[in-house]
Amino acid sequence: MKGMIFTEFLDMVEGSFGLAVKDRVIAAAGGTHDGAYTAVGQYDHREMVAMALELSAISGMTMQELLIAFGHHVFGIFVQGFSHFFSGTDSALVFLSRIDDYIHVEVRKLYPGAELPSFSYPPCAAGQLVMEYRSPRPMAAFAEGLVRATIKYYGQPVQLAVEDISGGAGTAARFTLTAA
């Protein structure tokens, strides 16, 4: 998993819960890095899962709640650092329909070797977008946070239905967005 996800997670933990909690979360990761993650590094996703589980135990939030909040946090970073991805699009449904064929293509140019999730887009009704998220990592709730933050960013009335299609593993989800 890309180091940027680790560094942003730890920034969110420190900003929301303080340095002592950040230190406990890093210790729980059990990795060889001792929290010295770099944005361009590549790390085992199990360290992220261990940190999130520890934060869940400390905060009382569920893993899903934490990962959704983290998705919102990272979306703000994406808007600041990659504003060009958002220009020329005025709709959450249009933006989200371009994740695999535009956004991820550009991300791979910036970060060769990045292990990105995939999205497929089954046919759907007019005014609707169905996205199926798949990843070998249990980060579907993080993707949900990104989707929810995208809807909020564009400020349009959109209803979101989320369905776990991974049998509880958190590795696949169907997001159905309907323009209200």
Please state the domain extents for the chain: 3-61, 90-179
What is the rounded distance in angstroms from the CA atom of residue 3 to the CA atom of residue 44? 9
Which helix (H) or strand (E) is 20 found in, with range?
Answer: helix 19-29
Q: What is the pTM of this model?
A: 0.92
Question: b/e per residue, 121-136, with b = 16+ CB within 10 A?
Answer: eeeeeeeebbbbbebe
Interaxial angle between packed helices 3-17 and 63-81, expressed in degrees from 0 to 180 and rounded to the nearest 10: 110
Helices 45-59 and 3-17 meet at what angle, rounded to 10?
10
Q: What is the pLDDT along the chain (180 residues), one digit of tens a residue?
A: 888 899 999 999 999 999 999 999 999 888 777 778 988 888 889 999 999 999 999 999 999 999 999 999 999 999 998 888 888 888 999 999 999 888 888 878 877 777 889 999 999 999 999 999 999 999 999 999 999 999 999 999 999 999 999 999 999 999 999 998
pLDDT at residue 115, as a whole number: 82
What CATH superfamily is the domain 90-179? H-NOX domain (3.90.1520.10)
Residues with Cβ within 8 Å of 58's Cβ and at least 6 positions away in sequence, in order, are: 17, 21, 24, 25
pLDDT attached to residue 134 = 97
How many residues in the chain? 180
Number of H helices, E strands in the chain: 7, 4
Contact 120, 129 (CB under 8 A): no
For residue 29, give Cα distances in angstroms to 54, 111, 176: 8, 24, 33
